Structure 1
Amino acid sequence: MSNSARRERQPLENGHKLWFGGLLVIFALPGFAFASWVSRTTTIRDQLDASTSQMGFLLLGLATGSIVGLTGSGRLISRLGARRSIAASTMLLALGFIAAGAGTAVALAPVIFAGLLIFGIGYGVLDVAMNVEGGSLEQALGRNVMPLLHALFSLGMLLGALAGTAAIAAQLPVSIHLAAVGLALGGGVYALSRCLPPATGREAAEEREADVPGASRASGARLSAKIWREPRVWMIGLIVLGAAFSEGAASDWIPLAMVDGYGVEAATGSLVYGFFVGAMLVARLAGGYMLDRFGRVAVLRGCAALSVAGLLVFIFGSGTAAAATGAVLWGLGASVGFPVGLSAAGDEPRGAAARVSAVAMIGYFAFLVGPPSLGLLGEQIGLRRAMLVVLAMVLLAGLLSHAARKPRRSGAPEGR
């Protein structure tokens, strides 16, 4: 390579480092916020004197908002670009988190529901925008980085779970805890969004219009409708659905299942949830190497097997040690299904944002709507037995793992 070529390439490499570094932290902060909420669910339930089914209904605020955000995320990102969408959606996350915290201070479930609804709208848009950025970064670098990005989300969740455990031990009011996290989240992500390229997502929309003579908003809608008819999108969506249902059920119910099903204190329940998140973090940190070494299909099947083993131990085990062991295996298995599915959805550059949005919508339907429904089932048969539904969804995802294999025409970095 000539000296002039090196001089021309260096700014791109520096730009990639800034892009990568900023995106890593952006993935971590909403994970911290989400785990902060999860860690305080037992305290919130006690403050509201709510039943398990009532807590499940409360979580529907988060689920409903997220579906609304996911539904509109594709068009928003196409118009504003992923960077501006990340900044705008984070403001909604922060506002919703602060409102939910205020609702706990006055013990009003409708206020908490409204706060979670706002939080969910922002979360739905942010998740798609972050993953569109991640897919674009993968294409630019020519290697798997989505598991590492999601590892930082898991790291944020682990730190959030540990901070929540400490807040419980210190008897910190939930309202102060959530307000502080909301302010840190809003300010941090807004500042870090400046590290991202301005045209990601919006640039992809312009390319779609350039491919179709006389393209317009209507043509973009037709492309989105066509994507929903693609069998591969649905099969990848079901893989993501199983992984997201598994992760979401753990996030929403492990602390309560430990308290109600194993008879431990709230802090111990949060700590076991921390084991789950820690296992996810370790697996996601190793995910890039494992994918490069063994390929998507083998890794997804192995993860499904680990999740099944962990769920069986958690559901039918006896004692805190068994529950913690099950949570670790469960976390290892739940680790890469979601990021690998989103990466596979973005294999084809044309329509990548729409496919990622579609697959994310399927996944988050399970991540956010599925776990609240477990609360209704758990009211009848207990939370531990309700996790059998999660086990069935994980098995389905494992059977469909072959759909994540990279199409040969794609330039994505992974081909098995």
Structure 2
Amino acid sequence: METALTRSQYVRWRTAVFAIFLASGLSIATWASRVPAIKLALDVDNIEIGLMLLGAGIASIVGLSLANLVLARFGARRGMLVAMIVFAAGVAIIGVGTDLVHSYIVVVAGLVLFGLGNGAVDVMMNVEGAAIEKQSGKTILPLFHAFFSFGTVIGAGIGAAAAGWHVDVVFHTAVMAVIIVLIAFASFANVPARELTGDTEAAADKPHWRERLHTAMAAWREPRTYALGVIMLGMAFAEGGANDWLALGMVEGHGAAPAIGALGLTVFSVSMTIVRIFGGPLVDRFGRVATLRVLSVLAAGGLLLFILAPSIPLVFVGAALWGAGVSLGFPLGMSAAADDPAKAAARVSAAATIGYISFLCGPPILGFISEQIGLLNTLYILVALAVASGLASPAAKPIAGSTVGAGHTHH
């Protein structure tokens, strides 16, 4: 039985989960912003950097898969605390490996912990965010994802400043690791135990958590999980593809200078973040399905404009539409997965796993294909995936008894 929360407890809970999303974004940008310094300090080439990224990516997928087990056994509240300490330790170890022991293996070990912790926390913070949506009756997951974006922007800014001032990687990562651990403990103190997130202690005997794990696995046998997976696959693939290939597409495909390519990625990111900030009220007004359909058209149209535009200003417009279009696929897929409180954790975990695997594995696949047919031609794959995402959008319709994301057309 859920205990009622006061307004103040609810606000503290929501703020704590905003902070967790922000911390995850901070950690990712901390590592990404120091790659050039790490490469120089270790004297490695791009292939070795690629192998580092692969190690982090595989560890993230393992973390995603373990999240189900952690949720069933310990609940999201304790699980998030441990996962955040793990990825904070990973961030610190990356710095130690770079500057103190000058060891490629130690940096890879740090990246494995970083990937493991981030993968696990990604599922659990979305389960927690979905529980907050249920409590409030409003679509808030896009705003949580906007806080993740804020975290990456803040982390990148701090990283750029640290690089500009020649701050040692070990000092920079140690400070960020301490900040993440402080956020973890402050958040833990303000997240209430809820049944929806597997935190209540009512029946904590072993058969009980095994039963919950069985329920979690059952989500993989439901057709709706895969239909939501298609929505998230298309949008996450197109978002991950932009992060890794948009800037290069402008440089190689449209002859832009590298700085202009970086600006193109900034336009994409800002556009995506703005729609995530204001997307919740739009979804509550027009409904999940209608919003996803419009956004898939925007994403496909933006991508086509980006590929075919005859001038750089139009390429920027394409990048902005692409960012807006892919902004809500992931959070709304999570939101839809959480419609049934009894199975929310299991379904969010399954949907998140599909989304994150496509986010992590998609860009390298695009890189391989682009070697054969050219980068801009490869982006047509993302157009097709955005269209598929739009066609699958009816799967996100709120199930009977759920009001979040239904829209106000029924009033």
Structure 1 residues 17 and 372 mapped into 2: Cα distance closer, same or farther (>3 Å)?
same
Counterpart in the other structure of 2:77: 83
Verify the 8 A CA contact 2:68 2:213 in the aligned structure 1: no
Verify the 8 A CA contact 1:165 1:271 in the aligned structure 2: no
Counterpart in the other structure of 1:414: 405
2:127 to 127, 132, 139: 132
Counterpart in the other structure of 2:184: 189
1:1-400 superposed matches below 5 A: 12-41=6-35, 50-51=45-46, 55-105=49-99, 109-170=104-165, 172=167, 174-199=169-194, 201-203=197-199, 216-257=208-249, 262=255, 264-265=257-258, 269-317=261-309, 321-400=313-392
Structure 1 residues 324 and 100 mapped into 2: Cα distance closer, same or farther (>3 Å)?
farther
Verify the 8 A CA contact 1:35 1:251 in the aligned structure 2: no
* Superposed displacement of residue 90, structure 1: 0.6
Partner AA of 1:70 in structure 2: L
* Identical-pair percentage: 38
- Distance in 1 (CA, whole Å) between partners of 2:377 and 2:103 is 30
Report the 3-state secondary structure (helix = DSSP H, G, I; strand = E; otherwise coil) of the residue aligned with 1:350: helix
- Distance in 1 (CA, whole Å) between partners of 2:223 and 2:182 is 40
- Distance in 2 (CA, whole Å) between partners of 1:375 and 1:56 is 12
TM-score, normalised on structure 2? 0.86
Verify the 8 A CA contact 2:16 2:190 in the aligned structure 1: yes
In structure 2, the gaps of 5 or more residues are none
* Superposed displacement of residue 130, structure 1: 0.7
Verify the 8 A CA contact 2:29 2:156 in the aligned structure 1: yes
* Superposed displacement of residue 65, structure 1: 0.9
Q: Once the two structures are superposed, what CA deviation does each residue of 1:220-269 show, in whole Å capped at 9, x if it has no partner?
A: 3432332211100110012112222222222334455556655534x655
- Distance in 2 (CA, whole Å) between partners of 1:161 and 1:257 is 21
Partner AA of 1:186 in structure 2: V
Counterpart in the other structure of 1:3: none
Verify the 8 A CA contact 1:90 1:189 in the aligned structure 2: yes
Q: Once the two structures are superposed, what CA deviation does each residue of 1:144-176 show, in whole Å capped at 9, x if it has no partner?
A: 111111121122223333444444555555554
* Superposed displacement of residue 358, structure 1: 0.6
Q: Once the two structures are superposed, what CA deviation does each residue of 1:362-395 show, in whole Å capped at 9, x if it has no partner?
A: 1111111222333333444454443333333222
Verify the 8 A CA contact 1:204 1:350 in the aligned structure 2: no
* Superposed displacement of residue 197, structure 1: 0.6
Verify the 8 A CA contact 1:254 1:273 in the aligned structure 2: yes
Structure 1 residues 197 and 215 mapped into 2: Cα distance closer, same or farther (>3 Å)?
same
* Superposed displacement of residue 338, structure 1: 0.7
Give me the CA root mean square deviation.
3.1
Aligned residues: 401
TM-score, normalised on structure 1? 0.85
* Superposed displacement of residue 270, structure 1: 4.2
- Distance in 2 (CA, whole Å) between partners of 1:175 and 1:12 is 42
